[in-house]
Amino acid sequence: MLLEGWIYVCEADAIDEEDVIRFDSGSRSFAIYRSEDNDYYATDGFCTHEKVHLAEGLVMGDIIECPKHNGRFNYKTGQAKKTPACEHLTTYPVQVTDDGKVYIQID
């Protein structure tokens, strides 16, 4: 089922537990996370420090660590947690449908 105003990302099991994938839509890039409790989250795809895809980083609990300089964010709230990442990430609502599809709302 296509939810109004939401964009299809992937099948829910396409993201490993406690991991992240990159999702591009138009000219924008997002990072989509699955936590260890199997909840799904979405943030901007680029680190706020420099242009690096966060999806290449490491998920540790609530934290995504950037692959370039090890800056850290709480991906659930978008909050920057360790320098050189200082600016927060924008987060986006995520829905997983009953038939196991992940959608995000980006506007």
State the burial class of residue 96 (Cβ atoms within 10 Å of its Cβ: 0-12, 13-18, 19+): middle
**Of the residues 76, 84, 105, 106, which one makes contact with ligand FES according to CB under 6 A:** 84
Query: Segment 2-21, which members bind other proteins (CB under 8 A)?
Result: 19
Contact window for ligand FES (CB under 6 A) among 24-32, 34-42, 45-53, 88-96: 45-53
Q: Which is nearer to other proteins, 7 or 20 (CB)?
A: 20
Closest approach, Cβ 38 to ligand FES, in A, equals 26
Six-digit token string for 99: 């038939």
Q: Cα-flanking dihedrals φ and ψ of residue 33, to 5°?
A: -115, 150
- Contact predicate 103/30, CB 8 Å: no
